[in-house]
C-alpha cells in the first residue's frame, strides 16, 4: 500500500529544534513526511540537512525550483510548532510566504489540518489570537489548544515547556485522515 503523505509545516518557535521527534513518530506510523518551513524557522531553528536525512526529502521553503520534484498531494497536514504569527496569518487568510499560501490553499481544498501551537500565556491571552483560534476551528481546522492539549506556559519558561510539548497528540489527530 502507498504510504500516506503528511505535510509537516514548521514555524519559528522552540520545539522546531526537536522536529526530529515529530518526524520519527510520524514515520513510525507509516507516514511519508514532507517538511515545509517558514523563513524564520529556517533562520533560527532548523538543521535542513538533518531533516532531509530523516525524511528522505528536502525541506520545502519556497515555491518549487527548477529541477526540484513536485510535492505529492497531502493526505493530512500538521502545523507544529505553530507560532502566534502563523496562526493569526492563517486565520486572516494572509498568504505572504510559501507556508501561509500552502495553508490557505490546503484549507480551501478540504485537506485535514491539525495545528499544534507553541505560545506563552501572554500570546495566548491576546484577543487577536483567541479570535484566530475560533476562526480556524470554524473553518474545520483542528487546533490543539486547551486542557489536555497544548497548554500555554508563562513567559520565559518556554525551554521547560518544550520537554512536554505534545507532538503525539497532533499525530493522533491526523491518524484517522
Task: Identify the residue among 22, 33, 41, 141 touching ligand FMN (CB under 6 A).
Answer: 41
CB 73 within 8 A of CB 3: no
| Interaction of residue 11 with ligand FMN, rule CB under 6 A | yes
Cβ partners under 8 Å of residue 162, min gap 6? 14, 15, 17, 18, 118
Site string for ligand FMN, 104-143 (x = CB under 6 A): --------------xx---x--------------------
Q: Could you give the count of Cα atoms lying within 13 Å of 15 in the half-sphere of its Cβ?
A: 25
| Interaction of residue 40 with ligand FMN, rule CB under 6 A | yes
Smallest distance, Å, CB 130 to ligand FMN? 14
Look-up: residue for cell 510559501? Answer: 98
Task: Identify the residue among 14, 17, 58, 169 touching ligand FMN (CB under 6 A).
Answer: 14
Long-range pairs for 130-133 at CB < 8 Å and ≥24 separation? 131/91, 132/87, 132/88, 132/90, 132/91, 132/92, 133/87, 133/91
Q: Which of 99, 80, 111 minimizes the C-alpha distance to 15?
A: 80
| Interaction of residue 9 with ligand FMN, rule CB under 6 A | no
Task: Identify the residue among 86, 102, 107, 132 touching ligand FMN (CB under 6 A).
Answer: 86
Contacts to ligand FMN from residues 146-165, by CB under 6 A: 158
Which residues of this protein are in contact with ligand FMN, per CB under 6 A?
A: 11-14, 38, 40-41, 44, 83-86, 118-119, 123, 158
Amino acid at each position: 500500500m502507498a504510504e500516506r503523505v503528511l505535510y509537516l509545516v514548521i514555524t519559528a518557535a522552540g520545539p522546531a529544534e526537536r522536529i526530529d521527534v515529530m518526524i520519527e513518530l510520524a514515520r513510525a506510523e507509516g507516514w511519508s513526511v514532507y517538511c515545509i518551513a517558514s523563513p524564520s524557522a529556517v533562520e533560527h531553528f532548523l538543521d535542513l540537512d538533518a531533516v532531509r536525512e530523516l525524511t528522505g526529502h528536502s525541506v520545502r521553503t519556497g515555491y518549487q525550483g527548477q529541477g526540484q520534484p513536485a510535492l505529492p498531494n497531502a493526505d493530512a497536514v500538521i502545523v507544529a510548532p505553530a507560532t502566534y504569527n502563523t496562526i493569526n496569518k492563517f486565520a486572516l487568510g494572509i498568504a505572504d510566504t510559501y507556508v501561509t499560501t500552502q495553508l490557505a490553499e490546503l484549507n480551501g481544498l478540504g485537506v485535514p489540518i491539525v495545528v499544534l501551537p507553541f505560545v506563552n500565556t501572554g500570546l495566548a491571552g491576546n484577543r487577536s489570537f483567541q479570535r484566530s483560534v475560533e476562526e480556524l476551528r470554524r473553518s474545520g481546522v483542528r487546533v490543539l489548544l486547551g486542557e489536555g492539549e497544548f497548554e500555554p506556559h508563562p513567559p520565559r519558561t518556554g525551554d521547560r515547556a518544550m520537554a512536554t510539548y505534545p507532538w503525539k497528540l497532533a499525530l493522533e489527530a491526523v491518524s484517522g485522515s
